[in-house]
Structure 1
Amino acid sequence: MTPSTSGTRSEIPGSRGSDLPRQLTVTVCFIVCIVGSMIGVGVFGGTPIAEAAGGALNADATYLAPASGAFSIWSVIYTGLGAYTIWQWLPSQRSSARQRSLGWLVAASLVLNAAWILSVQAGWVAVSVLVIVALLAVLAACFVRYSRTPAANWIEAVAVDGTLGLYLGWVSVATCANTAAALTDAGWNGFGLTPEVWSITILAVVAALGVALAAYGRGRLAPAAALAWGLSWIAVSRLNGELLSTGTAVAAIAAAAVIALAAVVYRVTGRNRIPAEAAASAAHR
């Protein structure tokens, strides 16, 4: 999670406002999100996501659906979001410009997460796409904001940057899978192209997105790790599930490898560039 050095903490947009309402809102939204996730896995008697909406989102519904093991990443993300919720209550973070910038967006993401689960439970697959696209946009905005300044220490790097990075990476993959599910559920014929052609094309777009995130974030590992994780499980699903597609599996593995390599390259080159920029800045003083 290599930080960007452009700008200072005081330059982050959205850094004004009352702190206590923001902290309370994040906490309440986290509780709502957790309750929603428990509904999503059937803890309260609801239908598990894979079985909801007539099975539109199960592992064999579309070529872009990941195998069920992929969803274990949510336990890591929810744990991280819990750590973030606690972190933002620390006295040192209450008036932090970084937390002021991120807090409301994180709260919005938590509400959208719960809304997505409820929309799927209600069988509103098309609506769920709108919700997850909104969630992706909010997480992208978070990424832009926290990438502008470095974390103060490794705890913040893990609880904030790491958590939000995993969240963004996974939701990027989930958005593709969700959209494919909605189109399939609606009976879309793909303009005459085969589902495999579409899946490979979309996976190429995901690879490009992963490279762009690596470039902007100077090699932040969390988004790349979550993207690679999700893509790998798409490959597993296409090689071992009922809906087999070797072409899609190969494309998913290739996309995961490209994203991982890009993150490493930008991380190394970003670290090398930062001392050079600092030296150049000092020379001009």
Structure 2
Amino acid sequence: MSTDTSTRPPAETATSRDVVRQIVVVVTAVLAIVLAAYGSGAFGGVAVSDAAGGALSATATTVAPATTAFSIWSVIYLGLVAYAIYQALPGQRAVTRHRRLGYWVAASLLLNAAWLFAAVQLGSVWLGAVVIVALLLVLARIFVILFHTASSGWVDAVVTDGTLGLYLGWVSVATVANIAAGLVDAGFDGFGFAAGFWSSVVLAVAALVGVVLAFAGRGRLAPALSLSWGLAWIAVGRLTGEPENVVAGVAAIVAAAVVLVVTIAVRVARGRVGATASLQR
């Protein structure tokens, strides 16, 4: 059986610049893992929950996720290591997708390390907030690249799209929590409005981010899963832990449900449109 290759793009040739890019991604991934371990209290480092006088702990604000939520970092870091190894394979060296992603992923890993240094070692909640906003913007750029470059198969879809999607969703939650921690640390009193009100506003914004990602990514699941994971653990923290706040807890549940429902609805609708288009051909 013959195979028509006339429509396939010509294979690109790997260069020394590709090798440098692959090495940079691997090195920054290792650096991020080591600093993450240090930031968790390993090697005698200060744990994130103890940094800045506890301003970043799971009980610091009414939009801080319960401690268990942070276990998702283990999955994300494992995925980032898998991506670093995957993109470093000789067969991936000249792939356009990795050429476009490489330095952006490396930048995200360096910003991750910078956040740990700013928030944990320097104890500056607001400097950490600035860094994590920059990280969120970098991950948003990565999300756009992923959308405009097709995966080469299920391995690429899981390792690249899955990992970086989870990364984006979780950092969206972390950004909200970090900014809230900065406001509380600065003495913001909410202009007389109750904590539940402000929590609901912040969580509504987080849900809106999830909805935007759902439509922009045409129902990509990974960002929605990690975003709703974080929102769900905010609900657990507020309904079963300190500071207890039923309004914030219910708002977090609603926000998580909205993100998941909208993402699944967009994905299903996209599938129907694709099926209809196939039938009309």
2:78 match: 79
What is the DSSP-based 3-state SS (H/G/I as helix, E as strand, rest coil) of the residue aligned with 1:73?
helix
Query: Matches of 2:37 and 2:169 in 1, distance apart?
Result: 22
1:26-175 matches, within 5 Å, as: 26-121=25-120, 122-175=122-175
Following superposition, the deviation at residue 9 of structure 1 comes to: 9.2
Measure, in 1, the Cα distance between the counterparts of 2:277 and 2:20.
Answer: 39
Deviation of 1:208 (Å): 1.2
Distance in 1 between the 2:16 and 2:91 partners?
16
Counterpart residue number, 1:264: 264
Q: Distance in 1 between matches of 2:16 and 2:270?
A: 33
Deviations 1:143-164 (A, max 9, x none): 0110123311111011000000
> What is the aligned partner in structure 2 of residue 222 from structure 1?
222
Cα deviation 1:131-181 (Å, max 9, x = unaligned): 000000000110011012331111101100000000000000000000000
Q: Aligned AA for 1:45?
A: G
- 1:74-122 Cα offsets, whole Å, 9 max, x none, are 0000000011001101222111111111111100000000111111122
Structure 1, unpaired ranges of 5+: 1-7, 11-15
- Which residue type is aligned with residue 112 of structure 1? L
* Distance in 2 (alpha carbons) for counterparts of 1:269 and 1:242: 40
Equivalent position SS for 2:188: coil
Specify the structure having the higher radius of gyration (Cα): 2
**8 Å CA contact 1:106, 1:142 repeated in 2:** yes
1:9–1:149 contact (8 Å) kept in structure 2: no
Instruction: State the alpha-carbon separation in 1 of the partners of residues 171 and 9 from structure 2.
Output: 27
Indicate the RMSD between aligned Cα atoms, in angstroms. 1.8
Deviations 1:19-68 (A, max 9, x none): 11111111111111011101111111011101111000111110110100
Quick one: higher RCO (CA 8 Å, sep 6+), 1 or 2?
A: 1
TM, length-normalised to structure 2: 0.92
1:44 counterpart SS class: helix
TM superposition shift of 1:189: 1.9
| Equivalent residues, number | 269
Letter in 2 for 1:240: T
Q: How far does the alpha carbon of each residue in 1:240-277 deviate from its partner, in whole angstroms, 9 at most, with x for none?
A: 11211101000100010111111111111112222444
Other structure's SS at 1:242 match: coil
Counterpart code for 1:215: F
Q: In the alignment, is the contact (CA less than 8 A) between 1:200 and 1:247 conserved in 2?
A: yes
* Aligned equivalent of 2:3: none
**Which 5+ residue runs of structure 2 have no aligned equivalent?**
1-7
Report the counterpart of residue 3 of structure 1 in structure 2.
Answer: none
What is the match of residue 254 of structure 2? 254
Deviation at 1:194, TM superposition (A): 2.1
Partner of residue 21, structure 1: 20
- State the partner residue of 1:13: none
CA distance in 2 between counterparts of 1:277 and 1:212 reads 25
> What is the alpha-carbon distance in structure 2 between the residues aligned to residue 9 and residue 57 of structure 1?
49
**Equivalent in the alignment of 2:5:** none
8 A contact 1:9–1:98 mirrored in 2: no
Please give the secondary structure, in 1, of the residue aligned with 2:63.
coil
Identity, in percent, stands at: 52
Give TM-score, length-normalised by structure 1.
0.90
Aligned to 1:4: none
Which range moved further: 192-201 or 73-82?
192-201
